[in-house]
Each structure stands twice: as structure tokens, then as C-alpha cells.
Amino acid sequence: MLTLPPASTKPRGVTQQKQKGSNAQRDQGADHDEEEDLIEQLNRKLSNVTLNPPTTIPDEMNITDISTMLPTFAQPLYNLLASGVYEQQLLAMVRIRKYLSLQDVLPRIDNVLALDCVRFFIAFLNMSDCPDLQYETAWVVTNIAAGTTAQTERLVEAGILAPLIHNLRVSRCVHVQTQTIWALGNISGDGPPYRDLILRSGALDVILQLIEMCEDPTVAKDQKYMILRIAVWCVSNLCRGSGRCAPEWLQVTPAFPMLRRLMYIDDTEILADTCWAMCRILNGTHKMNLDSVVIDRELCARFVSLLSEPHPTIQVPSLRSLINIASGPEHHTQLLIDAMAIPVLGSQEMLAHRNSTIRRDALLGISNITAGTADQVREVTIQDNGNVMRRVLDILRRGDIGGEDLSEESIDSHEEGGDWRVLREAAWVVSNATSVLDLEITG
């Protein structure tokens, strides 16, 4: 016989729904606040070292000179910034941009900030008749904001957000707008305080308008994907956070319809950021007004289909979106069942996945379903010819010995003791099921 958690650890009856929601919040909220997945941390901030400027700016300083530019030539560079001459100011910003695009960026950012030049950046961003200078400045701001919190704070405290958001709203140059979004994405990625400042400014609405513009068939595919990669990543950053650090739900739900359309895009990078943004919005649906989002069978079926993607950056947020949907009202759980989520969540591919995070989350999804009605629990026990429950029981019998290779799987490489979390969720599946149905569990 198997030893399971006592049924009293999760209440039955009318309180079951509330407990189900709080259980999901514990695993998708509290646990991840304490040890945020490395796969989420990786894309919090991105330096721009690849996007080519719209025009080529002549610069007599070669890359060898650029690499040692500061602090050796700090005064001449400052003089260019303060010259009041457009050509010299543009040349200075090109040089700073190249300097910040080299390796070992953090000390380079400190060298640039030591020039006391942020006030010049603000002035250049406000020069609406000089889009090349605005663009180069936004690029420099992007790479500084990709640095530490202290470095980003220097920008924000100096007032960099106001001209960035103004340019996002009024610039007619798509390169300026796109680079501005990248800068705002890095600033919002620094944490909830700056994220909330940007959300309160209304920037998300403008970003969504730019994304909608990309749906115009006359927009060239290369330009469309360049804009979408940056804009959707920024939206995902603006949706980042859970528990007490979550953004105000009604400020991010306007992105939901657009993100839903992007779930069918044929670009892995854009699709991954779309799924993360959806996952973050859905994280609060069990306790928020659902009028702002539409959860239906089609949406659930799309998330289920994305579980077959080979990329963890798509698999993981899709899986967590299903978990969050299942943590809500019972009719949402039923939508998942109708979308055939149970045989996929309980498949050998998921429950024996090489990555313990995916094994754990798949079991959490099943445990949320077994915290539903008796009919919903019965679906778990009979679908896939009863193999789902048999696989769960097998995990409890033998212990979790999935096939992960931590040396090759970055998402889980920092997490020790992942196996006991898998076992815990397997135990919750059986505990929830036996608290609703009179099941015979034998070893």
C-alpha cells in the first residue's frame, strides 16, 4: 500500500475550489518567487549588439580605438556631447554605442555614466527633428539599462522615462519607436517599481498599436518580425511578476487579445515571449474579474498543442498557463478536459520528461484537475485507458527518476532537490482524487 497525505490536508466540498486555487498559487507563485526559473531570468534584459542602424554613420575611430575610448578620451568625448553641433553629438553617440556593444559591458557602462552624460541623452531624445540622433541615443540607453539595477537607476532618476515614452507615442520613425521599446523593456525588466511606472504611463497601449500595425500585409516580413520580437518581449516583461510583485491585472489584460492572435505565429522567439506573457496574465485569473480575458476551448487546445513543441521556452509557459487555467473555476477545468489536456499532461513524454520542472508542472496540472468535481476526477482515472493514474502511481512507487541531464538543461540546472517536488505533486494528484472518489490505491 502507498502512504499518501491525509485527506484532511485539503478540504472537501465547497471549500475545495478555494483550496485548489491557493495550491496552484503556492506552486506557481510562492515557489517561483523564491527561486525564479533560470529560463525566465535569461530574457529579463537584453543588450542590443546586433540590430543595424537605419543609416551608416561615418566614424574615423576604428574598433581598436573604441575599445579603449574610456576613460582615456573622456574629456574629448564629453566635449563632443556638449558641443551643440549636431554632427559632433551624433558622432559621440555612435562611438558610445559601439563602446557599449563590446564585451565586459558593466565596467563600460560605469565609464559612460562617469561622464555625467545622462542629461545629454535626455536632450538628444527630445530633438524630434533629429531621428538619427534619437535612435543612437535610444540604443545607448538600451544597453545601459541592460546593466545592473544601480546603473538603470541612474537613468530613471535622471528622468529618462519621460522622453522615451514621448518618443514612443509621437515618433514617426519606426526604428526610433522600436529601439525605444527595447529600452523600456530593459528598464521594466529591472523590477516591479520601474515596470509599474511604465505601465501607468500608458506605454503598453502604444506598443500594442505598433504590434497591430505589423498585421498589415504591406509591412515587409523582415521589418515585421524585427518589430514583433522586440515589442512582444517588452510586453512579456511588462506582464512579469507574481504574488505581491505582480503588475496590476487590469493594466496588462489589454494585451490578452493581441497575444492570443500571436499564439499562431511561425517564429519560435516571438511565440516563446507570447506564451510567457500569456502565462503571466493568466496567473491571476482565479481571483480576478474574468471579463478582461476570454478563456475558451480553442485557447486551451492551443496551449495543449504547444506542449509538443521541442523548445522548453515554449513548453514551460504553455504548461503553466494550463495549470493557471485549471486553478480557476470548475468550468475552466472542464474546458481543459474537453481540449484533451489530461492524456497529454499525463503522457509518458511529460511524466518521464528529462526535465524535472516539466515533470513537476505536468503533475501540478493534473492535481488541479483532480481538485475539481467528481466527474472531472473520474476523467483523470479513465482517460488514456487509465494510464494517466497508473503513471502517477508508478512515480510514487519507484520515486522520481526522470531522464533529465542537468548539465545540458539550463532551465533546471540551478535547482537542487527537484525530485521531491515531483513526488509531492504526484502525491497531491492521488490525495485530491481519493478525497473526491472512493478509489482503491494498491501498490
DSSP string for residues in 339-387: TTHHHHHTSHHHHT-S-HHHHHHHHHHHHHHHTS-HHHHHHHHHGGGGH
Same domain, 383 and 417: yes
The 3-class SS string of 64-81 reads HHHHCCCCCCHHHHHHHH
- What is the distance of C-alpha 29 from the center of its chain? 14
Q: Looking at the domain assignment, is residue 73 inside a domain?
A: yes
Single residue among 139, 166, 201 that ends a domain in this structure: 201
Whether 299 and 392 map to the same domain: the answer is yes
Would you say residue 210 lies in a domain?
no
Around 387, how many Cα atoms within 13 Å sit in the side-chain half-sphere?
Answer: 11
Q: Describe the crossing of helices 86-100 and 118-125 by its angle, rounded to 10 degrees.
A: 120
In a domain, 207, yes or no: no
Q: Are residues 193 and 292 in the same domain?
A: no
Residue 193 domain flag:
yes
What SS3 state is found at 412?
Answer: helix
Total domains present in the chain: 2
Q: Could you check whether the bond before residue 343 is cis, i.e. omega within 30 degrees of 0?
A: no
Q: For residue 422, is it within any domain?
A: yes
| 350 and 316 part of one domain | yes
Per residue in 116-158, pLDDT tens? 999 999 999 999 999 999 999 999 999 999 999 999 999 999 9
Under 8 Å CB-to-CB from 252, ≥6 apart: which residues? 199, 204, 238, 239, 280, 281
Question: What local confidence, expressed as pLDDT, does residue 17 receive?
Answer: 30
Q: How many CB atoms lie within 10 A of CB 387?
A: 15
Q: Are 337 and 376 in contact (CB under 8 A)?
A: yes
Does residue 253 belong to any structural domain of this protein? no
Looking at the structure, do residues 294 and 338 belong to the same domain, yes or no? yes
User: What whole-number distance in Å separates Cα of residue 397 and Cα of residue 334?
Assistant: 29
Q: Are residues 19 and 78 in the same domain?
A: no
Q: What is the pLDDT of residue 436?
A: 76
Within a domain: residue 254?
no
59: left (phi over 0), alpha (psi -120 to 50) or beta: beta
Q: Which tens digit of pLDDT belongs to each residue from 188-214? A: 999 999 999 999 999 999 999 999 999
CA atoms within 13 A on the CB side of 35: 12
Q: What is the CATH number of the domain that holds 195?
A: 1.25.10.10
pTM of the model: 0.85
The overall average pLDDT reported for the chain is: 84
- The 10s digit of each residue's pLDDT in 239-292 is 998 788 889 888 999 999 999 999 999 999 999 999 999 999 998 654 556 666
Contact 258, 274 (CB under 8 A): no
Same domain assignment for residues 92 and 14: no
Q: How far is CA 43 from CA 16, 79, 295, 355, 424, in A?
A: 37, 36, 27, 20, 29
Same domain? For 352 and 425 the reply is yes
Does residue 85 belong to any structural domain of this protein?
yes
Same domain, 139 and 188: yes
Contact residues for 205 (Cβ-Cβ < 8 A; gap 6+): 254
Residues 123, 19 share a domain:
no
Nearest to 275 by CA among 256, 290, 289: 256
Question: Nearest to residue 153, comparing CAs of 113, 124, 120?
Answer: 113
CB-based contact 142:182 (threshold 8 Å): yes
**Segments forming the whole domain that contains residue 381:** 1-44+283-443
CATH code assigned at 431: 1.25.10
Of 170, 201, 232, the domain-final residue: 201
First to last CA, the chain: 5
- What pLDDT sits at residue 25? 34
Checking if the pLDDT of 409 tops 90, the result is no
Are both 154 and 59 inside the same structural domain?
yes
Among the three residues 201, 231, 258, which one is the final residue of a domain in this structure? 201
Domain shared by 82 and 37, yes or no: no
